[in-house]
């Protein structure tokens, strides 16, 4: 396992794999956990070589404090990756490698999927995501890139990006990995106190309750149920939405043959947590 901080040296190392073997790619912002490792394991199973990028991307943060507080644990991340069997190359560049001139986002036209949920509350976020993913895909040039479904809206955005840019890569979505309590694994969980971690399980329990009652309750009733669950909680609910899984548009009532997914964003203190769950 070797760490590369230059695009040229990474591409040179990958050149021996490119002609006859498949290259997988798992982009991360570091602070790795078992959710990330599940992506890497799947990539190793399906490819001969896997690149794991570790880069905290400044253009996808709309909150400067959040960017500054985002955990950076490269040494621990490398140690964790060493527990896996297979050929892994780590790409951990400086900001200047990916943004040599100016740290700025490309403006994309992702359509209505970018204006829902996260798009409403994090202005410019998806332009930042699209910018860094395109830069990383061009640097690595993988056959397949792997993304977790915890960021389901982001996954849809990246699929749209690949279509818009006509990038020769397959985007593979992977299931959410959870703690035993149900809390979705996230790098931000490391910033939670033990009490906050316990209280944050409300997110999973609420989504589970919504899924169980989806057939028998209207969307308006489910929205009210979620509001009540958070009313006396220490968590601050930012949004809860039931949306069409394909268009991501907020659903006001259920329609036949449509797939729906519930989405939540909530704060535990200053830590923002997101989660989602398919409903039918």
Q: What is the pLDDT, as a whole number, of residue 137?
A: 98
Predicted pLDDT of residue 20: 77
Helix (H) or strand (E) holding 242: strand 236-244
At the top level of CATH, the class of 187-273 is alpha beta
Distance, C-alpha 277 to centroid of its chain: 14
Beta strand ranges found along 55-204 (DSSP E): 88-91, 144-148, 170-174
Q: How many Å apart are CA 195 and CA 186, to the nearest integer?
A: 17
230/224 Cα distance (integer angstroms) = 10
SS3 161: helix
- Break the chain into its structural domains and give their ranges: 2-174, 187-273
Residue 5: alpha-carbon gap to chain centroid: 23
Query: pLDDT value at position 215?
Result: 96
pLDDT score, position 106: 96
Quote the pLDDT of residue 14.
Answer: 95
Return the pLDDT at 64.
84
The neighbour count for residue 256, using CB atoms within 10 Å, is 4
pLDDT at 66: 86
pLDDT at 16: 86
The residue from 36, 109, 143, 217 that is catalytic is 36
Closest CA to 35 of 131, 225, 178, 168: 178
Residue position matching structure tokens 């490819």: 47
Instruction: Decide if 125 is catalytic.
Output: no
Element of type H or E holding 239: strand 236-244
Query: For residue 229, what pLDDT is reported?
Result: 97
Classified by CATH at the fold level, domain 2-174 comes out as Rossmann fold (3.40.50)
* Sequential pLDDT tens for the chain (280 residues): 899 999 999 999 999 888 778 999 999 999 999 999 999 999 999 999 999 999 999 999 888 888 898 889 999 999 999 999 999 999 999 999 999 999 999 999 999 999 999 999 998 999 999 999 999 999 999 999 999 999 999 999 999 999 999 999 999 999 999 999 999 999 999 999 999 999 999 999 999 999 999 999 999 999 999 999 999 999 999 999 999 999 999 999 999 999 999 999 999 999 999 999 999 9
CATH topology identical between 2-174 and 187-273: no
Residue 81 confidence (pLDDT): 98
Closest to 99 in 3D by CA, of 136, 70, 126: 136
């Amino acid at each position: 396992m070797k760490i590369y901080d230059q695009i040229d040296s990474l591409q040179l190392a990958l050149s021996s794999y490119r002609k006859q073997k498949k290259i997988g790619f798992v982009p991360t912002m570091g602070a790795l956990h078992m959710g990330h490792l599940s992506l890497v394991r799947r990539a190793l199973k399906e490819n001969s070589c896997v690149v794991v990028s570790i880069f905290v991307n400044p253009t996808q943060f709309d909150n400067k404090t959040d960017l500054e507080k985002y955990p950076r644990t490269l040494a621990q991340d490398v140690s964790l990756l060493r527990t896996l069997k297979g050929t892994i190359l780590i790409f951990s560049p400086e900001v200047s490698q990916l943004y040599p001139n100016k740290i700025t986002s490309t403006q994309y036209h992702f359509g209505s999927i970018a204006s829902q949920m996260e798009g409403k509350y994090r202005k410019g976020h998806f332009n930042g995501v699209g910018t860094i993913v395109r830069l990383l895909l061009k640097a690595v040039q993988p056959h397949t890139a792997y993304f977790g479904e915890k960021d389901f809206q982001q996954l849809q955005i990246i699929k749209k990006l690949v279509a818009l840019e006509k990038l020769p890569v397959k985007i593979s979505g992977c299931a959410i990995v959870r703690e035993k309590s149900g809390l979705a694994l996230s790098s931000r969980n490391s910033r939670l106190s033990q009490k906050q971690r316990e209280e944050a399980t409300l997110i999973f329990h609420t989504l589970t309750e919504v899924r169980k009652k989806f057939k028998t309750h209207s969307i308006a009733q489910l929205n009210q149920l979620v509001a009540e669950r958070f009313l006396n909680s220490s968590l601050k609910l930012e949004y809860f939405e039931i949306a069409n899984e394909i268009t991501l548009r907020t659903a006001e009532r259920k329609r036949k043959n449509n797939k729906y997914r519930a989405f939540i964003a909530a704060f535990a203190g200053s830590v923002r947590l997101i989660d989602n769950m398919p409903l039918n």
